[in-house]
Chain A
Amino acid sequence: MILAAKIGWGLLGTVLVVGGIVSSEGFVHVSVQQHRPGGTHIWLVAPAMAAPIALRLVPRRPLEQALEKAREWLPAAQAAASELQECPDGPLVEVTDPTEHVKVGKRDGSLVVDVNDPREKVYVAVPLGAIGDSLRVLAERGATQ
């Protein structure tokens, strides 16, 4: 009985520690909702720390192709991600036309993109820390090629 209790406490502790580590950088939220009747609604929440880890696992070939045009913008993107973390929350870009509404802003430490067009409503929130880490991984992998 005592052994079972010890194992239970051990498992609970492990779950809490792993949960704490996984959620330490926040979560990526993605929502895509089609406006048509019966349209799908995809709602995805993933730990933000998975993004830089996943980028380390991307095969070299497709990464090279993706980095070909983006490489020269990586330092600017890294600087932006880093500085945005220090900036107060607020809207950064908003484009409105009769059929479409696009908003990009910073909220609660995340870069938030909100798109509402006649077909679907898309919401993406990515913690800026995870964006910075991902860009750093891309820069490191790009530099070693």
Chain B
Amino acid sequence: MKRLFAVLALIFVATAAAWAAPGERYLHVRVDNARDGQKVRVNIPLSLAAQVIPAIDNGRLRDGKVRIGNFQANGVNVAQILAALKNAPDGEFVTVQQPGQNVRVAKKNGVLIVHVVNTKGEKENVEVTVPWSVAEALTSTANSHELNVEAAIQALENAGDMTLVTVTGEHQTVRIWIDSNNDAR
């Protein structure tokens, strides 16, 4: 009898896990503006973005890729740099300090972190976190003047729950993240 209950419990758990597994992944954007009290919440299913982005043929975005001009400026191959950075140990790679702005680029636990602090004018703190798989997907096109947005979205679908961008200004905060919830509250 106990064995029967154990088997039934196992079947129940396996069924529940199978039922819950194919969850939709969402890209969320949350903007809060303290100055005018405006709040914006956007929840985009990643599967929707994956279908729509390749269908857009407007301006710099075509065939799922966005043209960004001189991406390979002065012969610097960003894809090769990313490949080199991927195998590099965790640490800080670039720090630019100039009047009004500090920029720090670092690698930590398999993600690329870009931290920008604006101290001039409207003070702002920007932190961008990009998983390596997404950074590689972005630069996976043969043309070095393009970013492969379509591939990056596919890579994001396989990434875990994480915050991608936070912007904290004097009057406004922005957060962009991915998870499996359909609501950005």
Contact = CB atoms under 8 A, between A and B. Distances in A.
B170 interface: no
A94 B47 contact: no
B55 A97 contact: no
Interface in A62-105: 72-73, 75-76, 78-80, 82-84, 86-98
Given A84-B48, A96-B38, 12 more contacts: A76-B52, A79-B51, A80-B52, A83-B47, A88-B24, A88-B182, A90-B43, A91-B182, A94-B39, A95-B38, A95-B41, A98-B37
Given A80-B51, A87-B24, A93 B42 contact: yes
A72 B44 contact: no
A79 to B, nearest CB: 4
A83 B52 contact: yes
Contacts of B122: none
A73 B56 CA distance: 7
Interface of A: 72-73, 75-76, 78-80, 82-84, 86-98
B51 A92 contact: no
Contact of A80 (B36, B37, B48, B184): B48
B183 A79 contact: no
A98 B24 CA distance: 32
Contacts of B58: 72-73
Contacts of A82: 51
B36 A97 contact: yes
Interface in B110-161: none
B37 A78 contact: no
Given A73-B58, A75-B55, A97-B36, A91 B183 contact: yes
B36 A87 contact: no
A76 B54 CA distance: 8
A15 to B, nearest CB: 39
Nearest to A88: B24
Contacts of A97: 36-39
B45 interface: yes
Contact of B55 (A79, A91, A96): A79
Interface string B21-55: 00010000000000011111111110110011011
